[in-house]
Amino acid sequence: MTRQPAALRRQDLETLRKHGLTDRDILDAVEVIAYFNYINRIADTLGIDPEPEMSDAHERWQKA
């Protein structure tokens, strides 16, 4: 969803359901992922430094 949202298909949802997720669970996950992507793009655009406890994760992400 983060890197190639248009690549997701109905089968992806079916796979999540087969693993026990409800439609509400899937919706919750999609909303959290979308918000995380949104807020990180705003922070990156404005040049906001990550919180100290996130510095290591941020550096690993930038290298990926």
Q: What is the CATH number of domain 5-63?
A: 1.20.1290.10
Q: How far is CA 64 from the centre of its chain?
A: 15
Q: Give residue 19's pLDDT.
A: 98
Which amino acid is it at 24?
A: R
- In the chain, where are the structural domains located? 5-63
Determine if the pTM surpasses 0.85: no
Q: Say if residue 14's pLDDT is above 80.
A: yes
What is the distance between the alpha carbons of residues 61 and 42, in angstroms, rounded to a whole number?
16
How open is the CA angle 22-6-48, to the nearest 5 degrees? 90
Q: How far is CA 7 from the centre of its chain?
A: 15
What is the distance between the alpha carbons of residues 49 and 6, in angstroms, rounded to a whole number?
30
Q: Where is pLDDT greater, at 1 or 30?
A: 30
pLDDT digits 0-9 by tens, 27-61: 999 999 999 999 989 998 999 887 787 777 777 87
